[in-house]
């Protein structure tokens, strides 16, 4: 086993162990992948101010996200097909998050079901929902989330239509993998993954199969998505979801100040500045670039979080300094899961936390609540 010191080490190991179609599904963007790359590259442009001769003892990165105590301002983002990165992947990731002390968010498009997570964890988790034409199916899913003691609902707003993801199209993405010659050859090189999948019955879409008509595999999911994801989504629909749910509501996919203001007016509890990991509108700005203007416009009225491009604790600290009061990590979790299962996710969280903690100390702070743009070198970070 190689020595794991950072998220990139986990990514390299995951690429070796996960079948190509599923690795590419998580680690890719739409069209030219320009926005996907910018999400990470723009973090690297932001420079930190190192301070010395300050007391660095008794540090804390603890905070709250929608009223929930968290060890650091990080939660696990909803990622579709997580259970194809590693057998029972959503359960493993949820357990790692619970052990570490941060929230886990289950995707609608997960392999493990809402009930699977509830049965295998004790901490409350969050559930991510897409707007569907079938309101009865949505209402049932919301009720299932409530019965599973989910403490928040994450409504994703930026997937009314699906961005063109070239790698998925070229790989012929299916779940379970389709028996093409290329896929069979690739699976033969992933014995660890195959052995894990042979030991579980969870190979399909746990939140949909048996709950939504006509969804049995990836191809039928694509057809169902085209028919059911609602391109007419409006703020009235957000109000309907809020009324159905009645609990903490997080709106994910905000990239524009005007949309952020409408989100505040909707009564949501938090918004996530997100371009869907660069998987939807290629050519959009990076999430970290869009963040400051949205914080300036609504940060006093609603919790503003962000996701996209976070690969280190330094990225988390930079996002916090620019006003994000929470972050979501998707790919960093996926890399850990694909590399080492539950322990890989836990390792990813340990890495991010240690980097966050040490960087905060080097920047002259012991409490994340006191961190602001003062830790950043002027002229290197985006402003409102």
pLDDT tens column, 101-142: 999 999 999 999 999 999 999 999 999 999 989 899 899 999
| The dihedral formed by the CA atoms of 251, 252, 255 and 260, expressed in degrees to the nearest 10 | 10
- pLDDT band at 221, cuts 50/70/90? low
CA 366-344-184 angle, to 5 degrees, is 150
Residue 107 is labelled as binding a ligand: yes
CB 51 within 8 A of CB 364: yes
Residue 364 is labelled as binding a ligand: no
For the chain, list the domains and their CATH numbers. Answer: 7-41+65-359 (3.20.20.70)
pLDDT in tens, 45-98: 999 999 999 999 999 999 999 999 999 999 999 999 999 999 999 999 999 999
Return d(Cα 352, Cα 74) in angstroms, integer.
9
Residue 176 is labelled as binding a ligand: no
Q: Report phi then psi at 74, rounded to 5.
A: -140, 140
Cis peptide bond upstream of 176, omega within 30? yes
Residue 330 is labelled as binding a ligand: yes
* pTM of the entire predicted model: 0.96
Return d(Cα 267, Cα 302) in angstroms, integer.
9
**Catalytic residue selected from 203, 276, 353, 365:** 276
Is 369 exposed, middle or buried, given 0-12, 13-18 or 19+ CB atoms closer than 10 A?
exposed
Residue 310 is labelled as binding a ligand: yes
Q: In the beta sheet, which residues pair with residue 104?
A: 76
Residue 248 has pLDDT above 90, yes or no: yes
- From residue 238, how far is each of 2, 167, 269 by CA, in Å? 46, 32, 12
Q: Which residues 6+ apart lie within 8 Å of 338 measured at CB?
A: 10, 13, 14, 15, 17, 18, 22, 23, 26, 85, 86, 344
- Looking at residues 9-23, what average pLDDT do you find? 97
Return d(Cα 261, Cα 297) in angstroms, integer.
7
211 among known catalytic residues: no
- Looking at residues 243-259, what average pLDDT do you find? 98
- Across all residues in the chain, what is the average pLDDT? 95
Residue 311 is labelled as binding a ligand: yes
Residue 119 is labelled as binding a ligand: no
């Amino acid at each position: 086993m190689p020595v794991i010191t950072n998220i990139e080490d986990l990514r390299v190991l995951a690429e070796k162990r996960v079948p190509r179609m599923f690795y590419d599904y998580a680690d890719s963007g739409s069209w030219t992948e320009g926005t996907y790359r910018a999400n990470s590259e723009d973090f690297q442009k932001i420079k930190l101010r190192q301070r010395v001769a300050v007391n660095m003892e008794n540090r804390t990165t603890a905070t709250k996200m929608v009223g929930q105590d968290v060890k650091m301002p990080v939660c696990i983002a909803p990622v579709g097909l997580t259970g194809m990165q590693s057998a029972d992947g959503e359960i493993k990731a949820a357990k790692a998050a619970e052990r570490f002390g941060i929230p886990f968010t289950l995707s609608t498009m997960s392999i493990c079901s809402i009930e699977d997570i509830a049965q295998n964890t004790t901490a409350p988790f969050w559930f991510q929902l897409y707007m569907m034409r079938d309101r009865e199916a949505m209402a049932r899913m919301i009720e299932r989330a409530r019965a599973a003691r989910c403490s928040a609902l994450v409504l994703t707003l930026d997937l009314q239509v699906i961005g063109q993801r070239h790698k998925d199209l070229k790989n012929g993405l299916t779940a379970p993998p389709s028996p093409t010659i290329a896929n069979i050859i690739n699976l033969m090189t992933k014995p660890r993954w195959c052995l894990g999948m042979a030991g579980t019955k969870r190979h399909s879409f746990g939140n949909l199969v048996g709950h939504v008509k006509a969804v049995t595999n990836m191809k039928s999911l694509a057809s169902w998505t085209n028919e059911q994801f609602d391109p007419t989504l409006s703020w009235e629909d957000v109000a309907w979801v809020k009324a159905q749910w009645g609990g903490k509501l997080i709106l994910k996919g905000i990239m524009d100040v005007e949309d952020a203001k409408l989100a505040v007016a909707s009564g949501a509890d938090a918004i996530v500045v997100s371009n869907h990991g660069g998987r939807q509108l290629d050519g959009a700005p990076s999430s970290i670039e869009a963040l400051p203007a949205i914080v300036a416009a609504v940060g006093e009225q609603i919790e503003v979080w962000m996701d996209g491009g976070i690969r280190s604790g330094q990225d988390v600290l930079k996002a916090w300094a620019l006003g994000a009061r929470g972050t979501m990590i998707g790919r960093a979790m996926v890399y850990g899961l694909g590399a080492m299962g539950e322990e890989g996710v836990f390792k990813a969280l340990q890495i991010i936390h240690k980097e966050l903690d040490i960087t905060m100390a080097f920047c002259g702070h012991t409490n994340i609540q006191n961190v602001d743009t003062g830790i950043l070198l002027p002229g290197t970070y985006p402003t409102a």
